[in-house]
Amino acid sequence: MALRDAPSARPALWRSLPCPAAELRLDLVLSAGQTFRWWESSPGAWTGVLGGRVWTLRQDRDRLWYTVYGEEEEEDGHAAEATKLDGAETDRILRDYFQLDVGLAALYRAWGAADPLFRKVAHDFPGVRVLRQDPVECLLSFICTSNNHISRITAMIERLCQAFGRRLCCLDARPFHAFPSLSALAGADAEARLRALGFGYRAKFVSGSARAIAEGLGAEGLRQLRAVPYAEARRVLCALPGVGAKVADCVCLMALDKAEAVPVDTHVWRIARQRYGAALGGRSLTPRAHQEIGDFFRGLWGPRAGWAQAVLFCADLRKGQELAGSWERAGGGRGQDSRGDGPP
């Protein structure tokens, strides 16, 4: 991202955190279906929206570098009102988002000792860690993953933010918007607007869940599910429109601190059956199948089974993308490449 091309954004100085590649690989974590708000803005640089601000991240061998862009000026020439963040606060936000206090290399060693297949796959996929996302954004984003693939989900979330979210700044002629508020997505016309944006049947679920949360738990109540047991958080989520076992487990794992949650879609089901020989769940992904497969991996990998599953999912996804690319180059079609290839 060329800073001189973004004069209205007022970039901050670059800062860095100690972070070896064994602890974090941006290219694997930000492109593998955990989040849909980052793009590779130049080779090795990732730009996206986090916490209502626009960031660019880079890595070298042992440090994570970042800059945060200020909000663009309004029509009267004054900068939009925003809370100023000092370096200590931006460091804290990134450490929290990437959960850098969790020692990943030690976990890889423990999972590899328990599971030779994990050890073999993980060698080529270091630094895959689970993000700690805003629960509202994570939930409403994953509702959009049903019967979908990453590139299409990313485009949908971008349209959602442009239509309903506050504009933050413009970089290289690309506008960036905050994720919409619950109130914006719970409005009377939200479902119709989402359908016009190409959300199809998901429009009803996005607006319905936004309304249910706004009128019930509220954003803070959803966040407080971080403090309750996994089974209870999952039960509350599954009561929301369009939220089934898979979406609930994605939110539990990636936003609500439930490291034992194992999101199960057809990718993970296939991994369990073909690579581990686990005859689980019968012929379809029923609630029982979700539970049995999750329990199988929790028994294998322990209390952070969801993190270990994220590594195998990333490896499976990357291989699938490479095969899909070869197929497309040969004149074939596009296949599924996300957690969204089954029912919500």
By C-alpha distance, which of 235, 26, 211, 200 is closest to 136? 211
Q: Which single residue is written with the structure tokens 């979330």?
A: 157
DSSP for 265-291 reads: -HHHHHIIIIIS----STTS--HHHHH
Residues acting as catalytic residues: 246
Report how far Cα 167 is from the mean position of its chain's Cα atoms.
21
In DSSP terms, 69 is beta-bridged to 11, 54
- 192: tokens are 């119709």
Three-point CA angle 74, 35, 83, nearest 5°: 35
In eight-state DSSP terms, residue 213 is: H
Tell me how far CA of residue 187 lies from CA of 140, 142, 209, in angstroms. Answer: 15, 20, 12
CA torsion 108→339→168→217, rounded to 10°? -90
